[in-house]
Amino acid sequence: MYKKEMAECALGRRKAPVVLKNGVVLNVFSGEWLNGDIALYGDTILGVGSYEGEEEWDLAGKFVVPGFIDAHLHLESTLLNPSQLICQALKHGTTTFIVDPHEAANVAGTDGIQYIIDDASGCAANVFVMMPSCVPAVSFEKNGAVMHAEQMEPMMKDPHILGLGEVMDVRSVLECEPEMMKKLELFRREGRVMDGHGGALSEKDGACYRLAGIRTDHECTTYEDAIREARNGIHILIREGTAARNLEAIVRGILNDRISTDMFSFCTDDKHIEDIAANGHISWNIRKAIALGMKPADAYRMATWNSARCYGLDRLGAVAPGYQADLVILDDVEKVQVSQVFHKGIPVTENGPASMTVPEKLLDTVHISWPGPEVFDMPISGEKQPVIHIIPGEILTDFSFEEVPVHNGRFCPNEKYQKILVFERHHATGMVGKGILEGFSIHGGAIASTVGHDSHNLIVIGDDDASMEDALEELIRCRGGYTIVRKGQEPVTQPLEIMGLMTAQPHEEVSANLARMLLLARDMGVPEGIDPFITMSFLALPVIPRARITPGGVYLVEKSCFCKEEEYE
């Protein structure tokens, strides 16, 4: 709130409460790096120039940029309860998180969303929530909850709710399906931002998508797709997560064509905690863009001001008068070496808030009707079978019909082909989808997870039925998580007891355990370039081309149908 005391400090007639002296400050409006002091009044920046303060900090020529904004992420995909993840990312300069909690919503509906908001609320950060648009992702999915516009509207009164989360069901937008139209109209009427999930839209599909009110897209994997959508006025969120890494392709295109960066921002989408600890958060996106040849000022603008403008966050994204004092002090601009982080004018400390007590109903979400070990049996008919192919470094898959190993009329896995099964785990319906997977290459056991985007049913991959059964039983026992079973040995498990998605365990323990599990997965054949857990989790998401596996079976995304050879050909 503007008042006389603030004006007198800004004019230099009296000392400001706090002044950060002798910094080199990025002006996001002009792209300049300017020497100056930063005067603060509570959580507000009064000005940048020459100031005196009641309390002064000497920055000694260090660089100052706005706090970084992650324009799209799923806190659940970091595996930690929200407060832990936010506190870790804060150390790397991310002070604003635009969260899409559709993982939690697909398991537990509005209860899951409220848990995300409540657990994050004590953190020294700006946490905004995009209301999940596709719960379930597509109408035939078997998930834990269904959210229509009627369930969304009451929650929009919560100040944390910023807009509508990624609209993954593109077809329902283009075909103006009634339920999707209700959601779009609700958020359009309120003047809220609506996120997209297009990726490779044609020019006309992209135009229609934008016409419907969709403002962003984080699914572009190539520069060609990104610039085609940007030309339609869709703001491109360049994703650099743990499994999906699209930054290099898109940034190289921007630099080669020398286009404006105004329609581009950075996001992580899905990034594991050990990756954040080792490489950083949005800081990694900035560092990589600069290393590819982008001007530092442009890279920092994409991580701050561009995102703030896109989402209407008027007080965020700049080191300038009237803006919130979210600041990152850097020892090195190109390496994005963070010295200190301020949120609302207060230095961020190492210690975050205590995690909240998790409601019991969010700790009891794995409900499987166990049909017996015969469920892993896969009789084969016909010469060729549908095969899902992993593409290293991508969450896209390929698909073909191929001859596969058969013994006594049943599929017989080997080092090339493995079984993949998805068990409906929310309502104990007994539904199980079965498929054949190539490129994952695990052998001598099984791997399983209750993280299976976006419906989060239980996925098991393996070449040994007994190990697959052990993996299934282990995840039922620990109420969800990741597990690896080497044939004849005890499971190695990371429990994710909160909705089968997250854990309250300390991040150090989680990171160390996941590192051990990754080594085991590599030893069992999962190749470099494939994150076994994230790759596995996306194999169940029937909105990303080309083929997926659900409790209903193998699904062909472009054809919007379950797999039959005659339909494919």
- Looking at residues 224-228, what average pLDDT do you find? 97
Q: What is the pTM of this model?
A: 0.89
Handedness of CA 76, 273, 269, 168 (dihedral sign): negative
pLDDT of 565 above 70 = no
Q: Please, which pLDDT band fits residue 564 given cuts at 50, 70 and 90?
A: low
DSSP for 509-538?
HHHHHHHHHHHHHHHTTPPTT--HHHHHHH
CA separation for the pair 247, 314 (Å, rounded): 26
- Of 206 and 383, which is predicted with more confidence? 206
pLDDT of residue 349: 86
- Looking at residues 50-79, what average pLDDT do you find? 95
Least confident of 301-305, 522-526, 565-569: 565-569
CA separation for the pair 342, 254 (Å, rounded): 31
Evaluate whether 548 touches 557 at the Cβ level (below 8 Å).
Answer: yes
Q: Retrieve residue 371's tokens.
A: 């049909």
pLDDT of 352 above 70 = no
Evaluate whether 273 touches 80 at the Cβ level (below 8 Å).
Answer: yes
Q: Which of 454, 442, 494, 463 has its CA nearest to residue 273?
A: 494
Evaluate whether 142 touches 107 at the Cβ level (below 8 Å).
Answer: no
- Looking at residues 351-375, what average pLDDT do you find? 87
Coil, strand or helix at 563: coil
Q: Which of 219, 223, 299 has its CA nearest to residue 256?
A: 223
pLDDT of residue 567: 43
Residue 304 CB-half CA count within 13 A: 33
Instruction: Quote the DSSP letter at residue 488.
Output: T
Crossing angle for the helix pair 247-257 and 282-291, nearest 10 degrees?
Answer: 40
- Looking at residues 285-293, what average pLDDT do you find? 98
- Looking at residues 411-422, what average pLDDT do you find? 96
> What region, left, alpha or beta, does residue 393 occupy, with left being phi > 0 and alpha being psi -120 to 50 degrees?
left
Evaluate whether 75 touches 101 at the Cβ level (below 8 Å).
Answer: yes
CA separation for the pair 474, 476 (Å, rounded): 5
- Looking at residues 51-65, what average pLDDT do you find? 97
From the candidate CATH numbers 3.40.190.10, 3.90.1860.10, 1.10.150.170, 3.20.20.140, the one assigned to the domain spanning 71-294: 3.20.20.140
Evaluate whether 116 touches 110 at the Cβ level (below 8 Å).
Answer: no
pLDDT of residue 363: 97
- Looking at residues 214-242, what average pLDDT do you find? 96
CA separation for the pair 173, 180 (Å, rounded): 7
Q: Please, which pLDDT band fits residue 351 given cuts at 50, 70 and 90?
A: low
* SS (HEC) of 93-121: CEEEEEECCHHHHHHHHHHHHHHHHHHHC
pLDDT of 568 above 60 = no
- 106-161 pLDDT, tens per residue? 999 999 999 999 999 889 999 999 999 999 988 889 999 999 999 999 999 999 99
Least confident of 16-30, 167-181, 480-494: 167-181
pLDDT of residue 563: 86
Report the helix count and the strand count for the chain, using DSSP H and E.
Answer: 17, 29
pLDDT of residue 354: 65
Q: Please, which pLDDT band fits residue 569 given cuts at 50, 70 and 90?
A: very low
pLDDT of residue 78: 82
How many residues can be counted in the chain?
569
Rounded to 5°, angle at Cα 300 from 120 and 314? 55
Domain segments of the chain: what residues?
71-294, 361-568
- 388-416 pLDDT, tens per residue? 999 987 888 999 999 999 999 999 999 99
